[in-house]
């Protein structure tokens, strides 16, 4: 232990000088009381800034290629969209890194949007509406339930996700109504299953739903 002869105090840990009088210390220092955390070389914020910078460069390059080639190719547009999704994805992942369920949920919604976009850009055959989005909604509810039990969440903590998923799945009615969905049965089935699930929650888990909504409304 270190000792300051002027102030007559013992000092724990290792100090260069006395914290009171800044004078010289006697004796040997000891291991620090608090664990020393390794400082990360690049903080999350600067990592994200680097990514934003790379994204800006990518955007400029792609617009430049479009300009030079007179919009001859489709791929710079695809790269731009992919770049935007990648950056948004990274941002979400870093912002909600402590809430894995939120990250997974947002990723799945991203996936649906990307699928819909690709479908629309490649002739709009409707496969995203017919198969991909209905399957993603079912997977979303299943994954939410599985993660809820794996992470040992209370249903109060994730029932709001399920409610949002059910409401979002109702949006599938719009393309069916506008006759944009060439095979609407899977979408209809996924809406029906999610509504059935929602009625189960409302009937048998009403207290959890009420607690969750009051919890979220109060914030
Ligand atoms: Zn001192």
Which residues contact residue 10 at a Cβ distance below 8 angstroms, ignoring those fewer than 6 apart?
1, 2, 3
The answer on 108 and 119 residing in a single domain is yes
The answer on 214 and 109 residing in a single domain is yes
- Of the three residues 53, 69, 95, the one that is the final residue of a domain is 95
Would you state the pLDDT for residue 196?
Answer: 93
Ligand 1 center from residue 15 Cα (angstroms)? 11
- Of the three residues 57, 73, 95, the one that is the final residue of a domain is 95
User: How many separate domains does the chain show?
Assistant: 3
The answer on 195 and 103 residing in a single domain is yes
The answer on 140 and 85 residing in a single domain is no
Ligand 1 center from residue 130 Cα (angstroms)? 77
The answer on 177 and 105 residing in a single domain is yes
Ligand 1 center from residue 56 Cα (angstroms)? 54
Ligand 1 center from residue 36 Cα (angstroms)? 24
DSSP letter for 71, please. S
The answer on 103 and 196 residing in a single domain is yes
Ligand 1 center from residue 7 Cα (angstroms)? 4
Ligand 1 center from residue 160 Cα (angstroms)? 58
The answer on 125 and 60 residing in a single domain is no
The answer on 71 and 7 residing in a single domain is no
> Both tokens of residue 5?
């002869």
Ligand 1 center from residue 14 Cα (angstroms)? 14
Residue 219 has pLDDT above 60, yes or no: no
Model confidence pLDDT, tens digit, residues 1-35: 889 999 999 988 888 889 899 999 988 888 877 77
What mean pLDDT is predicted for residues 79-84?
86
Ligand 1 center from residue 30 Cα (angstroms)? 18
The answer on 48 and 12 residing in a single domain is no
The answer on 118 and 165 residing in a single domain is yes
Ligand 1 center from residue 8 Cα (angstroms)? 7
Ligand 1 center from residue 9 Cα (angstroms)? 7
The CA-based angle 107-113-117, given to 5 degrees, is 140
Ligand 1 center from residue 55 Cα (angstroms)? 54
The model's pTM:
0.64
Query: How far is Cα 139 from Cα 91, in angstroms, rounded to an integer?
Result: 23
The answer on 63 and 152 residing in a single domain is no
Model confidence pLDDT, tens digit, residues 194-205: 999 889 888 888
The answer on 209 and 110 residing in a single domain is yes
Ligand 1 center from residue 28 Cα (angstroms)? 15
Residue 134 has pLDDT above 80, yes or no: yes
Which residues contact residue 95 at a Cβ distance below 8 angstroms, ignoring those fewer than 6 apart?
none
User: Of 93, 107, 105, nearest to 158 (Cα)?
Assistant: 105
Residue 96 has pLDDT above 60, yes or no: yes
Residue range of the domain that includes 56: 44-95
């Amino acid at each position: 232990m270190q000792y300051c002869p002027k102030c007559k105090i013992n000092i724990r840990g290792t100090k260069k000088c006395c914290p009171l009088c800044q004078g010289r210390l006697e004796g040997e220092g000891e291991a620090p009381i608090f664990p020393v955390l390794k400082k990360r070389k690049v903080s999350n914020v600067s990592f994200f800034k680097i990514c934003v910078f790379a994204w800006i460069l990518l955007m400029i390059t792609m617009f430049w290629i479009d300009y030079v080639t007179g919009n001859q190719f489709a791929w710079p547009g695809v790269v731009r969209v992919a770049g935007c999704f990648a950056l948004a994805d990274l941002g979400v992942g870093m912002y909600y890194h402590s809430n894995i369920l939120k990250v997974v949920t947002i990723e799945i919604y991203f996936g649906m949007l990307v699928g819909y976009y690709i479908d629309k850009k490649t002739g709009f055959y409707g496969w995203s509406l017919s198969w991909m989005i209905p399957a993603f909604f079912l997977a979303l509810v299943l994954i939410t339930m599985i993660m809820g039990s794996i992470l040992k969440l209370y249903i109060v903590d994730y029932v709001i996700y399920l409610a949002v998923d059910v409401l979002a799945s109702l949006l599938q009615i719009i393309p069916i109504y506008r006759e944009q969905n060439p095979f609407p049965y899977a979408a209809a089935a996924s809406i029906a299953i999610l509504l059935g699930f929602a009625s189960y929650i409302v009937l048998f888990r009403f207290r959890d739903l009420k607690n969750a909504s009051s919890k979220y409304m109060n914030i």
